Amino acid sequence: MSQSLVICHFKRLKLRRLGYKHRGFTFIEMVISLVIMAIISIVIGNIMLQGYQNFLTANNINEADWNGFVALERIVEDIHNIRSAAAITTIQPSDFSFTDMNGNNVQYQISGSSLLRNSQTLASGIQSFSFSYLDKNGSTTSTAANVRYITTTILLTQGISFATTAATRGML
């Protein structure tokens, strides 16, 4: 036997007499490892959850932004197509009705948190919505025959706000 094997053999015998064996991990080492892995998993899971929640929030804001923009564009297009001042039938802050160039009746109104065009939902998630009616000098008017400009303001539940003023073509 070589000298190194003899020394190694004696060390093993000495360790066995002391009650220590070189066969794997102790129970405490395993428990500590599991606790550390659990803590790391919780931290990583929370980071991933926060990232997913941020994604959903951004996605909802983006969708609301797009819905508000499309609704406002449709309203402006319809305002440009008002036949004449006599074609305006209702001018209220949250209700506006008129007849367009093609003879179609168009009505905008708010119902709960939805903006309706001819009783069909144009946009949802509306916190506030209003029309303001202006005459040829830019002063507020409540007379349909004097309306030349219409300001539309939309505030969405996500805090996004849109406002525009559109001229009625052919009535300037």
Q: What is the pLDDT along the chain (172 residues), one digit of tens a residue?
A: 555 555 555 566 565 665 555 567 888 999 999 999 999 999 999 999 999 999 998 888 888 888 888 888 999 999 988 888 888 999 999 999 999 988 999 999 998 889 999 999 988 888 889 999 999 898 999 888 888 899 999 888 888 888 889 988 756 5
- The 3-state DSSP class for residue 56 equals helix
Structure tokens at 149: 């400009």
| Residue 159 located in a structural domain | yes
Domain assignment of residue 70, given as a range: 52-167
**Residue 141: inside a domain:** yes
DSSP state of 159: S
Residue 76 domain flag: yes
Does 145 reside within a domain?
yes
Total residue count of the chain as it appears in this document: 172
Half-sphere CA count of 163, side-chain side, radius 13 A: 8
Q: Which two tokens stand for residue 131?
A: 């029309």
66 found inside a domain: yes
Q: Does the residue 13 lie in any domain?
A: no
Q: What is the pTM of this model?
A: 0.68
Helix (H) or strand (E) holding 167: strand 161-167
Half-sphere exposure of 5 (CA within 13 A, CB side): 2
Task: Confirm whether 121 is domain-assigned.
Answer: yes
Amino acid at 66: W
- Please tell me the total count of domains within the chain: 1
33: in domain: no
